[in-house]
Amino acid sequence: MGMKWAVLGSGRFYFWLMTVPAVLYVVVWRLAPAVYTLWLGLHTYNIVYDNAPRWNHLANFVQIARDGALRQSLGLSAKFGLIATAAEVLIGLAAAMFFDTDPPGRNLLLGVFLLPMIMAPVVVGTAWGTLFDRTVGYIPYVLHLLHVPQPDWMATPGTAMFALLVADAWEWTPLVTLLLFASLQAIPREHFEAARVDGASGWQLFRRIILPQVTGMVLVAAGLRLMDAFLELDKVFVMTGGGPGSSTQFVSMFVYKQAFQFYELGYASAVITVLLAVLGAAYWLYLRSYYRALGAANL
Amino acid sequence: MLRQPRYRVAATVFAMLLVAVLVTGSLPQTSRAQSMTTLTFLGPDFDEWVAFVKVANEIGKPMGIQIKPEYLPWDNVFQKALIDYKSGVKTWDYVYVYNTWIPGLAAAKAVIPIDDLMTTPAAKKAVAPEDFISLTTVGLQFQNKLWAMPMLAAPYMMGYRTDLFADPTEKKAFQAKYGYPLAVPQTYKQLMDVAQFFTRKAGATLMGKPLDQDFYGVVMANKSGGFLFHRYEHILVAFGGDLIYDPKTMQPTVNSPQSIAAAKYYVALHKYMEPGSESLTGGGAERIMASGRGAIAMDALDNMLSVLPVAKLSKIVGKVSYTLLPTQVASRPHANVGDANGLAIYALTQHKAEAFKLATAVLNTQGTKQVMKEYPALIPMRSSVIKDPEVRTNYPNVFNAMSSFINGKPYTTFIPPLKEWVQAQDIYEQALSAAMSGQQSVEDALSGAQAKVVDFFKRQGYVK
């Protein structure tokens, strides 16, 4: 039997048998929707009122170039992505270093700490939306007890954005912590001991030993989080609906509204195409600088 | 014969038991399914529709029809109905409709006009269109056809605290501050004064007693997604504005002087509303009013009636009266935008005849009275129900409020027949929300919205 499989394995049949499922997956689940999106982006198509897509001479892309609301959404997404990523990396690094000191009950603590990460984003959004709610929320209630002047969290642009950042950091800091904790655990303990013998301070340990050895992972974590936070939708949908006004209408929410509130599937597809191109370029630049940084570190 | 291992025997017995349970359990269901037709209803998780489903199941039982509801948040129903229809989903038989959705649903042909089902004298008699209160049912019409069985009218009115307005201390203080007697507002200027007057911080006195919580002049629901615009649109019309565009020319008028004046007024009035109103629907706002923390509520009458007079929900039972909205422009006295809710038959229903039969049976005079027993705040859309002596006696709040509405002859308009109305409304609402939150000035927000609506109308081919 084994002999037969080995013979088959060197033949063309086995090659195609093993390859076709993967090719089918890529073509059907990845490539076809992407090509369809690109094709739709070249057409005017109102999903409800148009019978079929109509070629529109790149009008969608012209509209993208002069769409102020889209520009605003892109700016808001970038702002949210950068702040959320910075906060998550900083808090995540601090938490990872804490867990690396091997505190009592570390595994239990780590398990609890990682819980938000496995929750559905919609659940996270609902929970934080309720916590910040002016009528029934725990946060306004505590602030009221402390006689702290409280803003109308979801009705003011700045505080609505802050609430989203808090929810995002709560959900995704554990991921950063997990990645950085794994990286910290890989640092040989002898490095710390030798440095301490030489009289290195805590800051010097961090600056000279920890940081150089976790930089790669910090970049990975930051890259992952930035791309994910840039496309944030679930929590925005649940907590603010993009408001007040358009102050939290990130780019994913913008696309959602175009596709499923205005039913302009053609325009929404064009925006997705452009976004994909921009994010792809950014990701390529990121990877290039990442490998350069790794190369420099190896030298 | 080889002996079977014990675990195999156990597994076989378990499997046989499972099959037996499934078979015996499914037999009666199959027989029930054979005799009953199940209609599916896509609607909002509102009390009145829960009541409707309950009554429909009672009335439908002898007819061999039952209803299975699928409740969604109100603002998602329209979207789901349209997209499901376009995608060929045949799940639904009934769809809840709100009057602003009618043009969109009708243009997409997602629901069947009731007129198209009134093909026989018996069918027409079952609908009894001559019995509808046209002031309320116009909103369910489009292109001269009725697109849904009228179920519930929701005229916008003011509910005010009679005890506050009658209190001698408050009357004296108001007179001293504003130079005219405290009374239920007849104009929007008076409404602003009254709202400002009654807005007080915890510790201040109200009717001579210290307040343990903040108190608000006016209570409203300002959640985006339709709730905000549906409260604001009455003020927009009262100030002489068009509902987003001029239907004669199709030119958007979002930043017209009237529109800007109305929006400025609303932003100013917002200071005297309960904090957090931006996340409240009508039901949520009425809970604040019912907790005794507001002087005036401006809302759909049924929203107010479903909470404020209900002892288990309200601390102000017997202290609220209902009156028409104020007036701003004399030619539009007590202006309001008509509000109607109905039951439409989904275009891809597999049970058109049964759906029509049950809808007419539940929403006729007797059926409506039965629904009112379950939901006493229901504002009927049939004159035979309003005139019914039993209704007069059992539902005095509904009767009195509707009488004052009808006798007051308010200026009533309906949203224009634009299939993209919901989208245009969303643009205006977002601008209003931006102005209320301080993100933009009223002028900037509405000018931005005007540009968006113009662009939107151009893409739809309405303007060049």
* pLDDT tens digits along B367-395: 999 999 999 999 999 999 988 999 999 99
- At residue B75, the pLDDT reads 86
Inform me whether the pLDDT recorded for B30 exceeds 50: no
C-alpha span between A125 and A165 (Å, rounded): 11
* pLDDT tens digits along B190-236: 999 999 999 999 999 999 999 999 999 999 999 998 899 999 999 99
pLDDT mean across residues, chain B: 92
Inform me whether the pLDDT recorded for A148 exceeds 50: yes
With an 8 Å Cβ cutoff, are B439 and A157 in contact?
yes
| Look-up of token digits 């649940």 | A238
- At residue A9, the pLDDT reads 55
Q: Band of the pLDDT at B28, cuts 50, 70, 90? A: very low
Q: Which residues pair with B40 in a beta bridge?
A: B68
Q: Does B452 touch chain A (CB under 8 A)?
A: yes
C-alpha span between A112 and A97 (Å, rounded): 16
What is the token pair recorded at B408? Answer: 């007051």
- At residue A14, the pLDDT reads 81
What is the token pair recorded at B205? Answer: 């006195």
Mean pLDDT of B302-323: 95
* pLDDT tens digits along A224-282: 999 999 999 999 999 999 989 999 999 999 999 999 999 999 999 999 999 999 989 98
**3-class DSSP state for residue A67?**
coil
How many A-B residue pairs are in contact by the CB < 8 A criterion?
Answer: 86
Which among A154, A156, A257 has CB closest to B279?
Answer: A154
* pLDDT tens digits along B151-204: 999 899 999 999 999 999 999 999 999 999 999 999 999 999 999 999 999 999
A43, A60, A42: which is closest to A52 by C-alpha? A43
Q: Does A244 touch chain B (CB under 8 A)?
A: yes
* Residues within 8 A of B (CB atoms), A 38-57 only: 44, 47-49
Residues of A in contact with B436 (CB under 8 A): 155, 244-245
Q: Band of the pLDDT at A149, cuts 50, 70, 90? A: confident
Inform me whether the pLDDT recorded for B442 exceeds 90: yes
What is the token pair recorded at B230? Answer: 């549906």
- At residue B299, the pLDDT reads 96
- At residue B437, the pLDDT reads 94
B261, B252, B242: which is closest to B460 by C-alpha? B252
Residue A260: closest CA among chain B residues belongs to which residue? B79
CA dihedral sign of residues A122, A123, A128, A131? positive
Inform me whether the pLDDT recorded for B278 exceeds 80: yes
Residue B294 per-residue DSSP state = E
- At residue B4, the pLDDT reads 58
Residue B202: closest CA among chain A residues belongs to which residue? A144
C-alpha span between A277 and A287 (Å, rounded): 15
Residues 6+ apart with CB under 8 A from A131: A137, A138, A139
**3-class DSSP state for residue B95?**
strand
What is the number of other CB atoms lying within 10 angstroms of the CB of residue B348?
17
Residues of B in contact with A135 (CB under 8 A): 276, 279-280, 284, 288
B158, B136, B159, B160: which is closest to B146 by C-alpha? B136
Which among A47, A133, A243 has CB closest to B433?
Answer: A243
* pLDDT tens digits along A176-196: 999 999 999 999 999 999 999
pTM above 0.90, yes or no: no
Mean pLDDT of B424-448: 96
Of A151-155, A233-237, B20-24, least confident by mean pLDDT is B20-24
Amino acid symbol at A107: N
- At residue B1, the pLDDT reads 43
Q: Which helix (H) or strand (E) holds B176?
A: helix B168-178
Contact B343, B149 (CB under 8 A): yes
What is the token pair recorded at B206? Answer: 């109200």
Q: Band of the pLDDT at B402, cuts 50, 70, 90? A: confident
- At residue B21, the pLDDT reads 59
- At residue B27, the pLDDT reads 45
What is the token pair recorded at A291? Answer: 């490998």
* Whether the predicted interface score ipTM is above 0.85: no
Among A43, A48, A51, A130, most B C-beta atoms within 10 A, so best to mutate, is A48
C-alpha span between A116 and A208 (Å, rounded): 32
C-alpha span between B40 and B10 (Å, rounded): 42
Mean pLDDT of A136-158: 89
What is the token pair recorded at B244? Answer: 């987003």
C-alpha span between B94 and B81 (Å, rounded): 10
Which among B83, B108, B422 has CB closest to A49?
Answer: B108
A233, B89, B297: which is closest to B70 by C-alpha? B89
Give first-to-last CA distance, chain B, whole Å.
90
* pLDDT tens digits along A92-121: 999 999 999 999 999 999 999 999 999 999
Residues of A in contact with B434 (CB under 8 A): 244-247
Contact B354, B428 (CB under 8 A): no
C-alpha span between B98 and B152 (Å, rounded): 10
Shortest Cα–Cα distance, A48 to chain B (Å):
6
Inform me whether the pLDDT recorded for A297 exceeds 80: no
Mean pLDDT of A149-176: 94
What is the number of other CB atoms lying within 10 angstroms of the CB of residue A240?
28
Residues 6+ apart with CB under 8 A from B363: B149, B150, B151, B343
What is the token pair recorded at B140? Answer: 């369910």
CA angle B368, B371, B376 (to 5 degrees): 110
Shortest Cα–Cα distance, B276 to chain A (Å):
5
Q: Does B438 touch chain A (CB under 8 A)?
A: yes
Higher-confidence residue of B240 and B35: namely B240
Q: What is the DSSP string of A232-270?
A: --HHHHHHTTT-STTTT--HHHHHHHHHHTS-BHHHHHH
Residue B187 per-residue DSSP state = B
Of B135-139, B255-259, B298-302, B313-317, least confident by mean pLDDT is B135-139
With an 8 Å Cβ cutoff, are A135 and B284 in contact?
yes
Q: Does A134 touch chain B (CB under 8 A)?
A: yes
- At residue A206, the pLDDT reads 93
Shortest Cα–Cα distance, A263 to chain B (Å):
9
CA distances from B156 to B75, B233, B247, B340, B426 (A): 19, 10, 23, 11, 20
With an 8 Å Cβ cutoff, are A245 and B431 in contact?
yes
- At residue A30, the pLDDT reads 87
Inform me whether the pLDDT recorded for B286 exceeds 90: yes
B277, B276, B288: which is closest to B314 by C-alpha? B288
With an 8 Å Cβ cutoff, are B275 and A133 in contact?
no
B371, B398, B404: which is closest to B386 by C-alpha? B398
Tell whether omega for the bond before A244 is within 30 degrees of 0, i.e. cis.
Answer: yes
CA dihedral sign of residues B375, B377, B381, B382? positive
| Look-up of token digits 């076989």 | B12
- Percent of chain B beyond pLDDT 70? 93
What is the token pair recorded at A287? Answer: 């990877």
- At residue B9, the pLDDT reads 66
- At residue A296, the pLDDT reads 67
Residues 6+ apart with CB under 8 A from B438: A156, A157
